[in-house]
Chain A
Amino acid sequence: MEFGEPTLTLGQTLWLLSPELLLVLSALIVMALDAIQLGREDKRSLPYVTLAGLAASLIATITLWGCNTRVLFVLSCDPFALVVKAVALVAVGLVVLMSDVYIRAHSRFQGEFYALLLFATMAISLLGGATNLVMIFLAFDFLSIASYLLTGFLRGDPRSAEAGMKYFLYGAALSAVMLYGMSWFYGLTGSTDLSAIASGLLEMGGPVRLVALPALILMATGFAFKIGAVPFHQWAPDAYEGAPTPVTAFLSVGPKVAGFAVIMRVFMTLVPVSFVDLTMDWRSLLMAIAVVTMTVGNLVALWQNNVKRLLAYSSIAQAGYVLIGVAAASPRGVTAVFLYLAAYVLTNLGAFAAVITFSNQTGSYMIEDYAGLGQRAPAVALVLIVCLLSLTGIPPTAGFMGKLWLFSAAIEGGLTWLAVIGVINGVISLSYYWKIMRAMYLVEPETEESLPTSPALGVALVVTVIGVLLIGVFPAPVVSVIETAAQAFFAG
Chain B
Amino acid sequence: MNFPILTVTLFTPLVGALLVLIIPREDVKTIRRVGTAFAFLSLILSAIVWLNVAQSGSSGIQLEESYAWIPAFDIWYHVGVDGLSAPLVFLTGLLTTLVTFYSSYAVDVRVKEYYFLFLLLEMGMVGVFLSLDLVLFYVFWEIGLVPMFLLIGVWGGERRLYAAIKFFLYTLVGSVAMLLAIIGVYFQTGTFDILEVAAAQPFAGNFTWASIAFWAFFVAFAIKVPAFPFHTWLPDAHTEAPTSGSVILAGVLLKLGAYGLMRIALPFFPEQFRYFVVDVPIIPVMAVLSIAYGAMVCMAQWDLKRLVAYSSVAHMGYVTLGLCAAAAGFGALGDPTNLSAAASGLNGAAFQMFAHGIITGGMFFLVGMIYDRAHTRDLKVFGGLGKQVPYYYGIMLVTGFASLGLPGLAGFWSEFFVFRATIRFIPVAAFIGVLGVVFTAAYILWKVVQNLFLGDLNEEKWGKLTDLTWWEKATMWPLVVIMVALGFYPAPLLNSFNAAVTTILQALP
Where the two chains meet, the residues of A that have a C-beta atom closer than 8 Å to any C-beta of B are 335, 374-375, 389, 394-396, 400, 404-405, 407-408, 411-412, 416, 419-420, 423-424, 426-427, 430-431, 434, 438, 441-442, 475-476, 479-480, 483
A191 to B450, alpha carbons, bound, how many Å?
90
A419 to B25, alpha carbons, bound, how many Å?
43
Closest A residue to B153 by CB, please name it.
A442
Closest A residue to B173 by CB, please name it.
A427
Does B69 count as interface, using CB distance less than 8 angstroms? yes
Closest B residue to A472 by CB, please name it.
B139
Q: What's the dominant secondary structure at chain A's contact region? A: helix
Q: Which 6 residue pairs of A and B lie closest in terms of their CB atoms, listed nearest first?
A: A423-B176, A395-B139, A442-B153, A479-B72, A411-B183, A408-B183
Closest chain-B Cβ to A303's Cβ sits at a distance in Å of: 17
User: With A431-B169, A476-B72, A480-B72 known to touch, is A426 a contact of B176 (CB < 8 Å)?
Assistant: yes
Does B389 count as interface, using CB distance less than 8 angstroms? no
- Of the candidate stretches B97-105, B159-167, B391-399, B480-488, the one touching chain A is B159-167
A451 to B172, alpha carbons, bound, how many Å?
32
- Which residues in A have their C-beta under 8 angstroms from that of B153? 438, 441-442
Contact B183 A475 (CB under 8 A): no
Does B302 count as interface, using CB distance less than 8 angstroms? no
Contact B69 A419 (CB under 8 A): no
Contact B169 A394 (CB under 8 A): no
- Which residues in B have their C-beta under 8 angstroms from that of A483? 72
Contact B169 A427 (CB under 8 A): yes
Does B297 count as interface, using CB distance less than 8 angstroms? no
Closest A residue to B135 by CB, please name it.
A404
- Which residues in A have their C-beta under 8 angstroms from that of B186? 408
Contact B180 A416 (CB under 8 A): yes
**Interchain CB contact (< 8 A) of B187 among A396, A405, A411, A431:** A411
Closest A residue to B72 by CB, please name it.
A479
Residue contacts A-B, CB under 8 angstroms, 24 given: A394-B145, A394-B146, A396-B143, A404-B73, A407-B183, A408-B73, A408-B186, A408-B187, A411-B180, A411-B183, A411-B184, A419-B183, A423-B179, A423-B180, A427-B169, A427-B173, A438-B161, A441-B150, A442-B154, A475-B70, A476-B70, A479-B72, A479-B73, A483-B72
Does B57 count as interface, using CB distance less than 8 angstroms? no
A344 to B168, alpha carbons, bound, how many Å?
22
Contact A442 B161 (CB under 8 A): yes
**Interchain CB contact (< 8 A) of B165 among A411, A412, A434, A476:** A434
Contact B169 A416 (CB under 8 A): no
- Which residues in A have their C-beta under 8 angstroms from that of B142? 394-395, 400
Closest A residue to B112 by CB, please name it.
A378
A-B contact count (CB 8 A): 78
Closest chain-B Cβ to A40's Cβ sits at a distance in Å of: 41
Interface size on B, residues (CB 8 A): 33
Does B441 count as interface, using CB distance less than 8 angstroms? no
Does B371 count as interface, using CB distance less than 8 angstroms? no
Does B71 count as interface, using CB distance less than 8 angstroms? yes
Contact B154 A441 (CB under 8 A): yes
**Interchain CB contact (< 8 A) of A442 among B73, B160, B172, B187:** B160
- Which residues in B have their C-beta under 8 angstroms from that of A424? 176
Does B416 count as interface, using CB distance less than 8 angstroms? no
Chain B, 161-201, CB within 8 A of any chain A CB: 161, 164-165, 168-169, 172-173, 176-177, 179-180, 183-184, 186-187
A148 to B172, alpha carbons, bound, how many Å?
39
A400 to B136, alpha carbons, bound, how many Å?
12
- Which residues in B have their C-beta under 8 angstroms from that of A427? 169, 172-173, 176
Closest chain-B Cβ to A338's Cβ sits at a distance in Å of: 13
Closest B residue to A482 by CB, please name it.
B72
Does B275 count as interface, using CB distance less than 8 angstroms? no
- Which residues in B have their C-beta under 8 angstroms from that of A408? 73, 183, 186-187
Contact A420 B169 (CB under 8 A): no
- Which residues in B have their C-beta under 8 angstroms from that of A411? 180, 183-184, 187
A441 to B142, alpha carbons, bound, how many Å?
19
- Which residues in B have their C-beta under 8 angstroms from that of A431? 165, 169
Closest chain-B Cβ to A28's Cβ sits at a distance in Å of: 41
User: With A412-B187, A416-B184, A441-B153 known to touch, is A389 a contact of B172 (CB < 8 Å)?
Assistant: no
- Which residues in B have their C-beta under 8 angstroms from that of A441? 150, 153-154
Closest chain-A Cβ to B169's Cβ sits at a distance in Å of: 7
User: With A438-B165, A476-B69 known to touch, is A396 a contact of B139 (CB < 8 Å)?
Assistant: yes
- Which residues in A have their C-beta under 8 angstroms from that of B146? 389, 394
Interface contacts beyond A395-B142, A408-B186: sample of 15 additional A-B pairs, CB < 8 Å, sorted by A? A394-B146, A400-B142, A404-B135, A408-B73, A411-B187, A416-B180, A419-B183, A423-B176, A423-B177, A430-B168, A431-B165, A434-B165, A441-B154, A442-B153, A476-B72
Closest chain-B Cβ to A301's Cβ sits at a distance in Å of: 16
- Which residues in B have their C-beta under 8 angstroms from that of A419? 180, 183
- Which residues in A have their C-beta under 8 angstroms from that of B138? 395
Closest B residue to A411 by CB, please name it.
B183
Contact B177 A479 (CB under 8 A): no
Closest A residue to B216 by CB, please name it.
A420
Closest A residue to B139 by CB, please name it.
A395
Where the two chains meet, the residues of B that have a C-beta atom closer than 8 Å to any C-beta of A are 69-73, 110, 113, 135, 138-139, 142-143, 145-146, 150, 153-154, 160-161, 164-165, 168-169, 172-173, 176-177, 179-180, 183-184, 186-187
- Which residues in A have their C-beta under 8 angstroms from that of B110? 375
Closest chain-B Cβ to A152's Cβ sits at a distance in Å of: 39
Most chain B CB within 10 A, of A408, A479, A480, is at: A408
A374 to B109, alpha carbons, bound, how many Å?
13
Closest chain-A Cβ to B211's Cβ sits at a distance in Å of: 14
Closest chain-B Cβ to A398's Cβ sits at a distance in Å of: 13
Closest B residue to A476 by CB, please name it.
B70
**Interchain CB contact (< 8 A) of A407 among B72, B161, B180:** B180
A335 to B73, alpha carbons, bound, how many Å?
11
- Which residues in A have their C-beta under 8 angstroms from that of B165? 431, 434, 438
**Interchain CB contact (< 8 A) of A434 among B168, B176, B179:** B168
A412 to B186, alpha carbons, bound, how many Å?
9
Contact A395 B172 (CB under 8 A): no
- Which residues in B have their C-beta under 8 angstroms from that of A335? 72
A462 to B454, alpha carbons, bound, how many Å?
59
Closest chain-A Cβ to B222's Cβ sits at a distance in Å of: 17
A476 to B77, alpha carbons, bound, how many Å?
12
Closest chain-B Cβ to A389's Cβ sits at a distance in Å of: 6
Contact B70 A479 (CB under 8 A): yes
A412 to B188, alpha carbons, bound, how many Å?
10
- Which residues in B have their C-beta under 8 angstroms from that of A416? 180, 184
- Which residues in A have their C-beta under 8 angstroms from that of B145? 394
Closest chain-B Cβ to A321's Cβ sits at a distance in Å of: 13
- Which residues in B have their C-beta under 8 angstroms from that of A389? 146
A358 to B237, alpha carbons, bound, how many Å?
32
A123 to B73, alpha carbons, bound, how many Å?
33
A434 to B169, alpha carbons, bound, how many Å?
10
Contact A430 B150 (CB under 8 A): no
A279 to B315, alpha carbons, bound, how many Å?
55
A231 to B315, alpha carbons, bound, how many Å?
51
A416 to B186, alpha carbons, bound, how many Å?
13
- Which residues in B have their C-beta under 8 angstroms from that of A374? 113
- Which residues in B have their C-beta under 8 angstroms from that of A434? 165, 168
Contact A430 B160 (CB under 8 A): no
- Which residues in A have their C-beta under 8 angstroms from that of B168? 430, 434
**Interchain CB contact (< 8 A) of A395 among B70, B143, B173:** B143
Closest chain-B Cβ to A159's Cβ sits at a distance in Å of: 32
A374 to B155, alpha carbons, bound, how many Å?
14
A314 to B177, alpha carbons, bound, how many Å?
22
A290 to B146, alpha carbons, bound, how many Å?
28
Most chain B CB within 10 A, of A374, A427, A479, is at: A427
Closest B residue to A414 by CB, please name it.
B187
- Which residues in B have their C-beta under 8 angstroms from that of A430? 168-169, 172
- Which residues in B have their C-beta under 8 angstroms from that of A480? 71-72
Closest chain-B Cβ to A466's Cβ sits at a distance in Å of: 14
A6 to B172, alpha carbons, bound, how many Å?
53
Closest chain-A Cβ to B139's Cβ sits at a distance in Å of: 4
Closest chain-B Cβ to A368's Cβ sits at a distance in Å of: 14
A450 to B146, alpha carbons, bound, how many Å?
25
